[in-house]
Amino acid sequence: MSAKEYRTASAARGGLLTVANVPNIAFGDRVYIRDKQGNTRNGQVIRSSNEEVLVQVFEGTAELDLESTWVRFLDEPVEIALSPEILGRVFSGLGEPRDYRPPIVSNLRRSISAAAFNPAARTYPKEFIQTGISTIDGLNSLVRGQKLPIFSASGLPHNRLAAQIVRQAKLPDDDSRFSVVFAAMGVSYADARFFQEEFASSGVLGNVVMFVNMADDPPVERLTLPRMALTAAEYLAFDLDRHVLVVMTDMTHYAEALREVATAKGDVPARKGYPGYLYSDLAEIYERSGRIKDRHGSITLVPVLSMPSDDITHPIPDLTGYITEGQIVLSRELHNQGIYPPVHISPSLSRLMKDGIGKDFTREDHPHVSNQLYALYARALETRNLASIIGADELSARDRRYLEFADAFERRFVQQGEDEDRSIEETLNLAWDLLSSFPPQALIRVNETEIAKYHRQSE
């Protein structure tokens, strides 16, 4: 079907252009808009009737006039061209090259809004990924096919942590094909550069596909960008059998772009001006990770988002937490004490950990050790609060032991170097070093056999 071109624009408001009297235009159709100067902009149909069609213009409607604007309907959804050549390339949120190299030429083009995976087609993710970071491996283990976000805030080292995960992530006894899809939405030049240099210096650049939308690029492109990135990830994982790690930053910028467009469309706001469908929209992105029956590849998703004003109940982290399989939360308090990675243990969680660790996967004591550390640390933090009120001298000997534990835990277990790649054995042994400052009867989350085997006093 030939593309249809019209000059009947009837209204332009923010990022939205109304075109009158255009029959039979498909919902979701991709659009080119040519302005008076002959420059082309991109758009997509977001409402369609025979009387008028509403087009979302990615670059905005500034400097458009209604008389001399040409609108062309391409009669195809927003698509991405796919081939193995995408590895090592950099694209915009619309899939156009950003690295001054020619566009991908391929017969394989896929719509970026994929249909949902059938739950009956999924396989439960179980393969432990070693990141070399104790707080993740030991306490919030990541498994292949999981979606585990990093909840951060401005000024915290989430980029460094994400880069360390990319650098160190591996399956303990496996060296299979591994790729990274990196999706950057509304990032600064400094951040984009940081990642590019990281990938180059760790030698993975040829295995990375980057989708980049800078802070000064059109915000509407941030809506298509993660979908582009995930369509590429699905291709790499399920067509080319690769294990794909997708890092997305920053989901907060994505959600803000969504709010901007929703407000322009006049959608009813739910919380903090975000549209009611923010949950479903985020889920469409996050749920594209996972493992599929009879496919060799996998998509593991690590989205990074900054919590506005460090508030974990803000709609973006809140709704994300309801969709993802846990979260790694960063703490300003630990960061200010110079602890890297400043992982805030109490609210961090990995839901898929239970089936990926233990006897056949990591070590038999792992689940109990993790539980025991959590319980002791929670108690130790209470004691620390108490000490700040009544003074550490007033504490009983039992309580002082907790206080010392909290410090040792943060300094030795949580803290580690940016290049320090701890094996899971090392992490668990370190945990037992700390647990051994307690007498065996105070450790009720680990069992008696494990105490006999690993507790230093029983040696």
Restricting to residues 24-83, which ones interact with other proteins according to CB under 8 A?
Answer: 24-29, 46-50, 77
Contact between residue 40 and residue 64 where contact means Cβ atoms under 8 Å apart:
no
Place of tokens 């009544």: 390
Residue 361 makes contact with other proteins by CB under 8 A: no
Residue 449 makes contact with other proteins by CB under 8 A: no
**Minimal distance, residue 325 CB to other proteins, in Å:** 6
Applying CB under 8 A, among 33, 208, 210, 352 the residue interacting with other proteins is 352
Which residue, 146 or 213, has its beta carbon nearer to other proteins?
146
Phi, psi of 159 (to 5 degrees): -65, -40
Binders of other proteins in range 126-145 (CB under 8 A): 145
Instruction: Return d(Cα 169, Cα 146) in angstroms, integer.
Output: 13
Which residue, 158 or 314, has its beta carbon nearer to other proteins?
314
> Which tokens is 285 given?
């992105």
Residue 405 makes contact with other proteins by CB under 8 A: no
Which residue, 361 or 374, has its beta carbon nearer to other proteins?
374
Identify which range of 113-121, 127-135, 178-186, 209-217 contacts other proteins by CB under 8 A.
113-121
Residue 276 makes contact with other proteins by CB under 8 A: yes
Which residue, 202 or 263, has its beta carbon nearer to other proteins?
263
Which residue, 95 or 367, has its beta carbon nearer to other proteins?
367
**Minimal distance, residue 390 CB to other proteins, in Å:** 4
> Which tokens is 369 given?
């050790």
Distances in whole angstroms, Cα of residue 18 to Cα of each of 10, 78, 99, 195: 5, 19, 33, 39
Applying CB under 8 A, among 81, 171, 283, 408 the residue interacting with other proteins is 283
Residue 116 makes contact with other proteins by CB under 8 A: yes
Instruction: Return d(Cα 134, Cα 424) in angstroms, integer.
Output: 8
Residue 275 makes contact with other proteins by CB under 8 A: yes
Applying CB under 8 A, among 385, 423, 457, 458 the residue interacting with other proteins is 385
Give the pairing type, strands 178-187 and 208-214: parallel
**Minimal distance, residue 188 CB to other proteins, in Å:** 29
Residue 238 makes contact with other proteins by CB under 8 A: yes
Evaluate the CA torsion angle 57, 63, 66, 68 in order and state its sign.
Answer: negative
289 to 328: interface string for other proteins, x by CB under 8 A: -x-xx-x----------------xxxx--xx-xxx-xxx-
Concatenate the DSSP letters of all residues of 162-227 into one string: HHHHHHH-B-TT----EEEEEEEEEE-HHHHHHHHHHHHHTT-GGGEEEEEEETTS-TTHHHHHHH
**Minimal distance, residue 97 CB to other proteins, in Å:** 26
Q: With contacts defined by CB under 8 A, how many residues of the chain interact with other proteins?
A: 84
82 to 111: interface string for other proteins, x by CB under 8 A: -----------------------------x
Which residue, 135 or 164, has its beta carbon nearer to other proteins?
135
Residue 367 makes contact with other proteins by CB under 8 A: yes
As beta bridge partners, residue 301 has 147, 246
**Minimal distance, residue 94 CB to other proteins, in Å:** 17
Residue 3 makes contact with other proteins by CB under 8 A: no
Cis-peptide, bond into residue 250, ω within 30° of zero: yes
Distances in whole angstroms, Cα of residue 354 to Cα of each of 210, 297, 349, 370, 453: 32, 22, 11, 10, 22
For residue 274, the SS3 value is coil
Q: Which residues of 291-312 are buried (b: 16+ CB within 10 A; e: fewer)?
A: bbeeeebbbbbbbbbbbbebee
As beta bridge partners, residue 290 has 299
